[in-house]
Chain A
């Protein structure tokens, strides 16, 4: 590849500098700063005490102190529960959508996207409104149906089971996306062969289809588990009232007065290790999927006629969509438009009180909206640009060792949001680099969090663009940057737009890293929603939450018109 440089002596062509090496160095430095700096501070704090002396006492506390040990046990149990339930939700739905002739499949896909876009903390708040044991709408209906006493209830969302359910409603799309993509690729000739041999549908499913999608199913489940393990908002909303901590809420509580940053750093380390382990396992599983794609080009997948089972299929899909999207959204709408939570929306109870409060009285609103919007745009723009160039250098091996960039850009996927928050706080609140309290620290956090997804999107896109096109341009004397600009960039434009939208939506729903990094001047909408939850102002939350959703859907709608916007690329978004 490098030998094409000989062609530069063609006289008519202006010789200009090739920026790829300095660019490589700059990017490498940037990614190292983004990723390694906070992690190093985290480790440093974890193994030192207040006087900066080396110590292992922070870790000793993890073993000896039950108030630190219990959250780990609970969080792991909770995450496994979320993994299992997400699987149970997603697998049948993915099969119905990908492999049967059930009507309305595109509607179902749209609803799954809606569940995916819903910030999990907002879903948790909506489920508080729906299934709090006494004021919850569903329990009120239950009592009314069976004429029961005021304190009878069917659901209690403030339990570990309730928490698992409320998280699964918003993590099952990860499993769904991976499984339905895998199902789309299952060679139908194998299934047909099985059917021709006289195997009933169930046998074909069990012997052919399920084994073929198993890697995707496992990988998706691991992502759901990772999401649950690292999630802050939903446990803070549902577990604290129930009187228990998970790891993330415990880390956050260690920053309350009097703050114990060393202990918080120490407790973050095992969480980080869990996350790395999960990602590593997931990569291993997906790396072996070769045999599922072997016959991928053998024809369109065979759609199974559901016949009289259609109603059952719709019953399942409908119930799932009702639980994950429709009911929660209705609960938010009703709460936004009535005075007190749990009041039925009628002509009499209708009020714009909460809208008036949010937009005209609550002084944090406009600042938080401006910050959220500004950071969304900046992160999306910078993130897209950095990911694009990084993916180019890494995939084309422009510079020796370019792959390192790709590696660095993917590392944050294994850093839980709250751990990153701790690391960034420690790295940038000291007097060397005082970024705490500015929007910059939030920008850094957002960029780090969104980098893996953005990078993966471009990385796979580059694999589809032929190197020859770029090389042809280089032979004609263009520098690498010119080639990139004039040949590759236009091809990648739609990818870039999709990535941009994607990062933007990711930033407006992010809470777990931001909760430790925002200050009065650097408020974000997600954080004020959390603050309002702590004082029980659900009406105002509903208004702000609906606003976030409307913006997200507007952007999704725009992005959906682009051909490249596919579910598979959404995988590393987190809540």
Chain B
């Protein structure tokens, strides 16, 4: 059963008859006093996200401070879990989500195809975002980008001994000392695995699977396991969590592998059947605003497409990192294979 049949199976009678003829181009909007007033009447906005829970709650708090009277309900889980949940809810006629955000670009392609998304686009996005970071019909836009990196605990591993490449991770000395997140849970890891395959091939993962790697679920977790000293090296995990922990004093350091580093685009979108349509528009505009994007960068360690965002000087700018991209249109057909192969090599 591939993605499409599964979703149509879930949708059955509900969404199919409504399959949309997309009007070309986005509906650009500004935050007006009317919108704010309407949002306040609704009082709540439901935000499904795969952002690290602390960063997500900070973003929500900033929004609530700017627009008192509109509460944000943050529903955090892994990208694949968020996606599955929305599919399940829509399949059971539950209209709960207002704005969603995951780090697997495939999800938004599918949401759009299903006709679940609006075409609202905040003015800031249509003016400032690079074209390849926003949907041409305005269905979604890149809320964040982040990298999936190798990292190590600087107390346990000296800088000169630290791995420089993915190939280094296969050295016998790292057996039993690594932690890694799961592509079945994390969109970052799903995207990252797909981006690494052309470079490293499955035999890399097969060999890595024999290194007694500690398997966690979320890509937010490996950096936490490094910080607590449970494992010395992460084979993958969020760059932004490494930043967050490092800045709070944890002994951990990023490695940009010589083969390249997978980048993940985290899209966000408003759902057509949002129970709080105005609050949804308000939150959606807010998360792309300079303030929010700067907060994402400062507190969350995320990369932004907003040209006005200034990164902390100690962070390596994206332009200096060899990036590996995954094409969502191709990934869409690879998901099952990746999960199956992964279970074969890593056990779960």
Given contacts A242-B215, A244-B347, A258-B6, whether A434 and B92 have CB atoms under 8 Å apart is yes
A534: nearest chain-B partner, CB-CB = B217
Q: In whole Å, how far is A430's beta carbon from the nearest beta carbon of chain B? A: 8
Tell me, yes or no, whether B221 is within 8 Å of chain A by CB.
Answer: yes
Interface string of A353-377 (1 = CB under 8 A from B): 0000100011110010000000000
Asked if residues A256 and B84 are in contact (CB atoms below 8 Å), the reply is yes
Smallest CB-CB separation from A240: which chain B residue? Answer: B348
Which residues does chain B contribute within 8 Å of A67, judged by CB atoms? 343-344
- Closest CB in chain A relative to B160 CB, distance in Å: 17
Q: Report the minimal beta-carbon distance from B201 to chain A, rounded to whole angstroms.
A: 21
CA distance in complex: A135, B231 (Å): 8
A151-B177, A340-B250, A363-B73 are known contacts. Are A257 and B80 too (CB-CB below 8 A)? yes
Shortest A169–chain B CB gap in Å is: 21
A140-175 interface mask toward B, CB cutoff 8 Å, 1 = contact, 0 = none?
Answer: 000000000011000000100000000000000000
- Determine if A346 is an interface residue (Cβ-Cβ < 8 Å): no
With a CB–CB cut-off of 8 A, which chain A residues contact B81? 256
Chain A nearest CB, measured from B87 CB (Å): 7
Which of B12, B53, B71, B76 is in CB contact (< 8 Å) with A431? B12
B179 to A, closest residue via Cβ: A241
The listed residue (A437, A520, A532, A540) touching B46 by CB distance below 8 A is A520
Distance of B283 from chain A, by nearest CB (Å): 13
Q: How far is the CA of A362 from the CA of B75 in the complex (A)?
A: 10
Q: B228 and A342: CB pair below 8 A?
A: yes
- A429 part of interface (Cβ distance < 8 Å): yes
Known: A150-B156, A362-B57, A431-B93. A535 touches B218 (CB 8 A): yes
Residue of A nearest to B72 (CB): A363
Say yes or no: A363-B74 contact (C-beta < 8 A), given A134-B229, A243-B215. yes
Q: Tell me whether A256 and B184 are in contact in the complex, defined as CB-CB below 8 angstroms, given that A240-B215, A342-B229, A364-B74 are known contacts.
A: yes
- Asked whether, in the complex, the Cβ of B215 is within 8 Å of the Cβ of A259, the reply is no
Given contacts A244-B348, A520-B75, contact A340 B228 (CB under 8 A): yes
Contact B336 A241 (CB under 8 A): no
- Closest-by-CB residue of B relative to A430 is B92
Cβ B230 vs Cβ A134 within 8 A: yes
Give the interface SS of chain A, mostly helix, strand, loop or mixed: loop
Partner pick for A361 among B52, B61, B232, B344, CB 8 A cutoff:
B61
Interface of B is mostly: mixed
- Please measure, in the bound complex, the distance between the C-alpha atom of A256 and the C-alpha atom of B85, giving whole angstroms: 9
- Give per-residue flags for A505-520: 1 if the beta carbon is below 8 A from chain B beta carbons, else 0: 0000000000000011
CB pair A50–B228 under 8 Å, yes or no, is no
Contact of B348 among A150, A253, A431 (CB under 8 A): A253
How far apart are the CA atoms of A242 and B215 in the complex, in Å? 6
CB neighbours of B335 from chain A (8 A) = 258
A132 within 8 A of B: yes
Q: Does A18 have its Cβ within 8 Å of any Cβ on chain B?
A: no
Least CB separation from A437: chain B residue = B94
Q: Do A535 and B52 have beta carbons less than 8 Å apart?
A: yes
B348 touches A536 (CB 8 A): no
Nearest CB in chain A to that of B340: its residue? A67
CB neighbours (8 Å) of A192 from chain B are none
Q: What are the residues of chain B within 8 A of A255 when measuring CB–CB?
A: 84
Please name all residues of chain A whose beta carbon is closer than 8 Å to the beta carbon of B177 when the two chains form the complex.
Answer: 151
Contact of B216 among A151, A249, A536 (CB under 8 A): A536
Nearest Cβ in chain A — how far from B102, in angstroms? 11
Contact with A along B91-133 (1 / 0, CB 8 A): 1111011000000000000000000000000000000000000
Partner of A50, one of B9, B48, B84, B184: B9
Q: How far is the CA of A244 from the CA of B347 in the complex (A)?
A: 5
Nearest opposing residue in chain A for B182, CB measure = A240
Q: Looking at B46, B156, B185, B347, which has the most chain A CB atoms within 10 Å of its CB?
A: B347
**A470 part of interface (Cβ distance < 8 Å):** no
Residues of B within 8 A of A535 (CB): 52-53, 76, 78, 217-218, 220-221
Partner of A519, one of B61, B96, B250: B96
Contact of B84 among A150, A259, A357 (CB under 8 A): A259
Q: Please list the residues of chain B having a beta carbon within 8 angstroms of any beta carbon in chain A.
A: 1-3, 5-6, 9, 12-13, 46, 48, 52-54, 57-58, 60-61, 71-78, 80-81, 83-85, 87-89, 91-94, 96-97, 156, 176-177, 184-185, 213-218, 220-221, 224-225, 227-232, 248, 250, 335-336, 343-344, 346-348
What 10 new A-B contacts, CB under 8 Å, besides A258-B335, A362-B57? A158-B214, A241-B216, A257-B6, A257-B80, A341-B228, A363-B74, A436-B94, A534-B217, A536-B218, A537-B53
Can you sample 26 A-B contacts with CB below 8 Å?
Answer: A50-B1, A50-B9, A132-B230, A135-B225, A135-B228, A135-B229, A158-B214, A240-B215, A240-B217, A242-B215, A256-B81, A257-B6, A257-B83, A257-B84, A259-B84, A361-B54, A363-B73, A364-B76, A431-B13, A431-B93, A520-B73, A531-B77, A534-B77, A535-B52, A535-B220, A536-B218
The 10 tightest CB contacts between A and B, nearest first, are A243-B347, A536-B221, A135-B230, A257-B84, A437-B94, A536-B224, A535-B218, A258-B6, A534-B217, A520-B75
